[in-house]
Amino acid sequence: MGMKTFCKATLLAVVSICALGGAAAAAPACSNTAAGFEQWVEGFKVEAQGQGISRSVLDRAFANVHYNVPTIRADRGQKSFKLSFDEFMKKRGGAAIISRGKSMKRANAEMFANIERRFGVPAGPLIAIWGMETGFGNYMGNEHTLSAVSTLAFDCRRSDYFRDQLYSALKLVADGDLDVNSRGAAHGEIGQTQFLPKNVTLYGVDGDGDRHIDLIHSRADAMYSTANFLKGHGWQAGQGYQPGEPNFTAMGGWNAATVYQQALAYIGKEIDKP
């Protein structure tokens, strides 16, 4: 090869490597509209592959991903947490959750006893979360989970937070713990107690022993994981969980809204009454 040809070939190689490196390193831009979403997805896939996620997982995960308008609408319209306690309880059906929750406690007594022995969390607050979030698994949402999380990762309001959630969702896909067609709540929450993907990776527990964490179909997985979440946020076995008591702050990790925490404490107390 002549020197001129060698130099030309080397220059082309360097340019190619730099172009690829730049594409992988550049963080895809966010947006407050749907414009550019498809291009963002392709850029994110390049970035994610550079982080060690296989192309096959990425292709499967993003095969049906779309910009999810209902997710953005829900993200911009969260108003119920501004209600008073009485208004919030009425809106969320607090009395019905207490009534049904007592029955659920009796019907699953052995499971809840095992959970309390392992994590120190009694049935009441777990059932309160279960009832409040999905009506005991009756309605877990109808939004395509990977689309919801991808949309919020692309959206500028909380892009860094949801990019982290998207990487966690991809890990769940890779591990076989999240179906690429799964549907859930508008922000990408998963299962009977509505875990965000990263919380599944951090606190998910295989409660039924099938070697998978399935918060959608497995009641045991959902309840064990929720107890583990509360323990991970400072829950102390044997301590109270009403306002001013040690475990009330642990429930703040579940939802930062004071009225939501108050509702969980009240509903849980009523369910736990002998």
Taking residues 4-10, what's their average pLDDT?
Answer: 41
Residue 4 has pLDDT above 90, yes or no: no
Q: Which helix (H) or strand (E) holds 112?
A: helix 109-119
Contact between 139 and 15 under an 8 Å Cβ cutoff? The reply is: no
Residue 54 has pLDDT above 70, yes or no: yes
Note the pLDDT tens digit of each residue in 75-88: 987 665 778 999 99
- Whole-angstrom CA distances from 24 to 46, 54, 59 are 6, 14, 17
Which residue would you say has higher pLDDT here, 252 or 152?
Answer: 152
10 falls in which pLDDT band (50, 70, 90)?
Answer: very low
From the list 274, 247, 268, 255, the residue with the least C-alpha distance to 80 is 255
Residue 3 has pLDDT above 50, yes or no: no
Question: What is residue 80's DSSP assignment?
Answer: G
Q: What percent of the chain has pLDDT over 90?
A: 84
Taking residues 20-39, what's their average pLDDT?
Answer: 72
- What are 57's two structure tokens? 């997982």
71 falls in which pLDDT band (50, 70, 90)?
Answer: very high
pLDDT score of 274: 85
Residues near 92 by Cβ (< 8 Å), separated by ≥ 6? Answer: 80, 132, 263
pLDDT score of 17: 36
Residue 27 has pLDDT above 80, yes or no: no
pLDDT score of 18: 39
Distance CA 202, CA 184 (A): 19
